[in-house]
Structure 1
């Protein structure tokens, strides 16, 4: 099975190409998906799960709304590293909205890595965090045939993984950085696949920019 990054290589060189997207959760109970599509957005990530015990109550309605609006869509999982295994959380995510099929409209799931109730790095050493992420990623890949995207910000990735480059050849990067440019890319990734450039989007949630053209986004969805 080719790596999830293979589909991204062709559009990486298209530095001037970009596709607007966004992400949402239950914190945005009402989202104007049709308005977002009309304004030029073509994709959305929707929160599905946390850990192994939480399902976002708005996931189903958001997913239906995004589908009806014609958006390419996918689920994301807010990780609770160390509380349960990476494999167990991948299974829970897949069972509750994080699945994927090569239909050109479903994005591979996204693993959301950031600080939580257990502190910035969830009580794990950098080596243990890398192992946890790998366990999640490998289980997702073994079950669905694609690797999940990894969402992180540079400070978290540096502090909690030691700026690991272990995922460069497998997992596309979703970079969170609210600035005028993506800046320095962490973890040895040569570029970000998606840039979360703002925590405010006109039609709901956070703004995200795909680093390529629509055909490249469709290739990512197809795996």
Structure 2
């Protein structure tokens, strides 16, 4: 009987695990993981972050109407160079600034990193600190007042960039704001250390990202870091960041091509290009071809506008994506 009970217990445990994994796969598909960072994480080895399976990262750009995170530029450039999809967030200070003042500081700091190929910009709405004391915005503003501030910031950023921002809040704020804000996507803070979809998301009907941990461990970062998961697979994620990858495949066993330099100003060089490559294409992140070249491993990109581009090649009648590069 004891042996039978033991077998039953093992089978039951495995069934529970299988049910959990099945539900997990439905909820999260391809598991698009990422992090968010600020100067508190110090110098980050972004190559190690990428090797640890992190696909995207938000970096703090600004706070209030004057503060700019001293690590922002390095985080963005080094993250991009490591192949991480980067984005910028702004820490809201409605306690002492107008929304448009906060928005202008954010746009002046992060404007170059808003657009196709980047994560949407984010308004981080949570209790700020002043003099070591937490400021409860919910006691300073009515729901309508705080919602209006959020909407003015978001509308300003969207009108200036053409990209709708995302709003980061926890359950308290999600339930305090009014429904006007739910036209913008939700990044929900629920650090329960699980990948289960969030609950109690207030005036939102759905969510885009869940911040599920404040104490994560990621290679390349000393100390704790916030962990996030996207509500969808890679196809939906690429749609969110405005990247069209239709008809482009990538087989790491086929190509070992390196791009140099990256970022680039005038000429990009492809090292290790197979002889079977018959055509080279450079496309913008919406899939529109900007440069077409039949041969050679050096490409003049001096006339391209600033931004991000994808290099893919035709080899044996099949397209292969090589990499993404930044034109300065």
TM-score above 0.5, yes or no: yes
Does residue 219 of structure 2 align to residue 219 of structure 1?
A: no
Select the residue among 59, 63, 66 that pairs with 2:72: 59
Q: Deviations over 1:14-45 (max 9, x none)?
A: 63322010000000012232122112211000
Tell me, in whole angstroms, the C-alpha distance in 2 between the residues paired with 1:35 and 1:182: 28
- Gaps in structure 2 of 5+ consecutive residues: 1-25, 244-328
Pick one of 138, 143, 147 that aligns with 1:126: 143
Shift of 1:192: 1.5
The structure that is strand-richer by fraction is 2
**Contact between 2:61 and 2:90, CA under 8 Å: does it hold in 1?**
yes
Matched, 1:167 2:181: yes
**CA positional deviation for 1:215:** 2.2
Per the TM alignment, residue 97 of structure 1 is displaced from its structure 2 partner at its CA by 1.5
Q: Secondary structure at the match of 2:28?
A: coil
Does the Cα contact within 8 Å between 1:99 and 1:144 map onto a contact in 2? no
Match of 2:120 in 1: 108
Structure 1 segments (4+ residues) deviating >6 Å: none
Q: Work out which of the two has the higher radius of gyration on C-alpha atoms and give 1 or 2.
A: 2
Deviation at 1:199, TM superposition (A): 0.6
Distance in 1 of aligned mates of 2:28 and 2:147: 33
1:41 and 2:58 correspond = no
Residue by residue, what CA displacement relative to the aligned partner does 1:164-192 show, whole Å, maximum 9, x if unpaired? Answer: 22222x31110000112343242332222
Q: Choose between structure 1 and 2 for higher RCO, CA contacts under 8 A separated by at least 6 residues.
A: 1
Q: How does 1:174-213 map to 2 (within 5 A)?
A: 174-179=187-192, 180=194, 181-203=196-218, 204=221, 205-213=225-233
Give the secondary structure class of the aligned counterpart of 1:57: coil
